[in-house]
Amino acid sequence: MAARSNQPKDEIVRTTGKILHKTSFLFILTAVALAGCSNEATLSSATTAEHAAEAAIKPVKTAKVATQAWAGAKTLTADVVPSLELNVVLKVDGDVKSVLKKRGEQVQKDDVIIELDNKDLLRQKQKLLYARASLEEQLSKAKKDWDDGILELTNNIAITQQSLDDANKQYNRILNDYDTGQATKDQKEQMESQVKPLKLNLQTLQQKLQTLQNTQPLAAIQYQLQANDIDLQDADVNLAYFEVKAPASGLLTEMPIEEGMTLARGQKIGVVQRQSPIKIRAEVTEADLPLVQGKPSLIFQTSDSPDTFEGKVTYLANTANTQTKTYSLELEAANENGRLKPGMRVQLLLAGGGEQQVIVVPTGSILREDGEPYVFILIGDHVEKRSVKLGRSKDDRTEITQGLKAGEVFIVSGQYQLKHMEKVAPGQ
């Protein structure tokens, strides 16, 4: 042990240096290895993300929109709608007393549909009638008093006038006697004192008569009676509103009303649809417009019957709708038996047999949302959702009457999981 402790210092230093050198080298190698692992992990993560992104792009198969010859009649899908549709709207507040017509029943114009409780309004009308009777009594009494006043003044004027005439005759005789010396001055002055008050009294009575004749003591009561008449008329009109009537003849729909319900003025309680005649409404493309123009009527049929119907063309738009690029068409058809109902779809016959060049796509490429058909169109590396109008169908092919143009590319496979403007990987 003593010999080892006496080992030369130079040898110890050299040995320690070698150990430190090896340790440093190992540390550097370890750091490099760790850095390499980190870079490999980063590269691996980026590669995985790229693969995931590529995997998220859905593969689809596409085809070009093309036309083909289609033999058979050229038809156009149209909607059946009421020729007239009017809301049944309340004009007064009230509680439902009785329901006389049910939803789904045929009604004639002015048929009573429901009756509202009118007890309160009847009481108000009775009060108005009592008030009118009182006013008429007041008017009668006031008129009698006025007539009596006129009569009394007229009689007094006549009596006073007669007294004045008699006094004037005596006064004139006294004046003649006074001029001849047969009457004294006192007699003349005495007669003057009798004539003067009679004149004044006559003037007063005449002024009173004129004032009474010019006044209208009955006007206030007459105004009250006129106002009462208006209130009674309003009450009668409102009472009529408590019988809710059909505004037109037709089918009563949308009326969930029961007895005892409280309804408010302005509330819609139902709809009356006139279904005879019935209206047929369609949108005509520019390509089909020549097949409709100038025709006074068109033949159509329903999908559940081979029977045909004829509708009179009542309207064809002169210009296309700026949004749909189509022309509105309306027809009117007889419907006495009620076979055509609002909500149905019919096929209008635009042209007879023969071949037409039409756009046709595989039926399986057509999707629906809320019953409305659409397809996906390829725009670059994205898809666009496009609404379309359908025509005839045969085997696994369907005619597209609106929404697609020849040369456009549409999705024929893989479309069920797509969304609007989603990126795709197209293939053939």
Residue 395 pLDDT level (bands cut at 50, 70, 90): confident
**Domain boundaries along the sequence of the chain:** 2-55, 60-71+356-427, 74-113+248-352, 121-236
Residue 118 pLDDT level (bands cut at 50, 70, 90): very high
CATH 1.10.10.410 for domain 74-113+248-352, yes or no, is no
Mean pLDDT of 5-15: 44
DSSP string, 67-126: EEEEES-EEEEEEEEEEEEEEEE-SS-EEEEEE-S-TT-EE-TT-EEEEE--HHHHHHHH
CB–CB of 378/422 below 8 Å? no
Give the pLDDT of residue 15: 43
> Residue 30: how many CB atoms within 10 A of its CB?
10
Residue 253 pLDDT level (bands cut at 50, 70, 90): very high
Give the pLDDT of residue 261: 96
- Secondary structure (H, E, C), 181-246: CCCCHHHHHHHHHHHHHHHHHHHHHHHHHHHHHHCCCCHHHHHHHHHHHHHHHHHHHHHHHCEEEC
Pick from 34-43, 226-235, 246-255, 382-391: least confident? 34-43
Give the pLDDT of residue 18: 45
87/269 Cα distance (integer angstroms): 8
Residue 371 pLDDT level (bands cut at 50, 70, 90): confident
CA distances from 221 to 140, 143, 301 (A): 10, 10, 71
**Could you give the percent of the chain with pLDDT greater than 70?**
86
CB–CB of 327/336 below 8 Å? no
Specify the higher pLDDT residue, 246 or 8. 246
Q: Provide the CB-side half-sphere exposure for 339 (13 A, CA).
A: 12
Contacts of 232 (CB under 8 A, 6+ apart): 125, 128, 129, 132
* Statement: residue 394 has pLDDT above 70: yes
Q: What is the pLDDT of residues 258-309, one digit of tens each?
A: 999 999 999 999 999 999 999 999 999 888 898 999 999 999 999 888 899 9
Q: What is the pLDDT of residues 322-369, one digit of tens each?
A: 988 899 999 999 998 989 999 999 999 988 766 778 899 999 999 999
CA nearest to 282, candidates 319, 234, 330, 243: 330
Give the pLDDT of residue 4: 43
Fold of 60-71+356-427: 2.40.420
Mean pLDDT of 403-409: 93
* Statement: residue 50 has pLDDT above 80: no
For 345, the enclosing helix (H) or strand (E) is: strand 345-351
Mean pLDDT of 121-129: 96
pTM of the model: 0.56
270/100 Cα distance (integer angstroms): 13
Specify the higher pLDDT residue, 28 or 382. 382
Give the pLDDT of residue 349: 92
